[in-house]
Amino acid sequence: MNVFITGTDTGAGKTHFSAAVLRACGRRGVAAIGMKPVASGAEQTPAGWHNEDVAALRTAAPLAAPDADINPYLFALPASPHIAAAAAGVDIDVALIEAAYRRCAAQADVVVVEGVGGWLVPVTADFLVADLAARLDLPVVMVVGVRLGCINHALLSARAIAESGRPSLGYVANVVEPDLQALPAVLETLERLLPGPCLGVINWRDEESLAQAAEALVAILTAPPGGP
């Protein structure tokens, strides 16, 4: 099964978790590819344009794929894709993204597609991240960046995902503010109010909790049809 990873906002930890899922696939011997259809924010290097998210997915994936399929669109401006594309004088072609995804899916057992920003970020002027997940017909996992204000962001995002009709495989709580006051109460509130399951609570820079959450998702993605 393939999956679309979205987040409550920029910096929620989508890449952090997506790369961990790819590494977990590698440990299980699962042929997996990571894909970032659109990445905004790149710098010029002697080897060409570089984006940290794309590089992280490429490095973590056990199966190689052409750069043009892993990341069809890369923009220098760190902004919403429709704004970054306009600044670069580029029209994003969703059909091109879908074709790249189909090529990845044809050779992999699992494709981890990481969105950009949050669920309702515009990819083009009239096509949202939510529309991209629907176009690729993927179930969704939401990464909650646990920080001040995250309860509202998480509940709004979960409601929007449900209203879009996309199936949800659960969420991950990524504690990006470890000094957040009343952290246990925040986590309890998320677990009580969000549609589950909670695949794991990732403590910032704790590789064990990250690996456990990733393994929980890979178990779902690789379960036999009709299995648990």
Burial class (CB in 10 A: 0-12, 13-18, 19+), 179: exposed
In angstroms, the CA 2 to CA 11 distance is: 23
- Is 14 annotated in the active site? no
114-142 as b/e: b if 16+ CB within 10 A:
bbbbbbebbbbeeebbbbbbeebebbbbb
Active-site entry in 23, 36, 82, 166? 36
Q: What backbone torsions phi and psi does residue 123 show, to the nearest 5 degrees? A: -85, -45
- The tally of CA atoms less than 13 A away on the side-chain side of residue 107 is 14
Give me the active site residues, please.
36
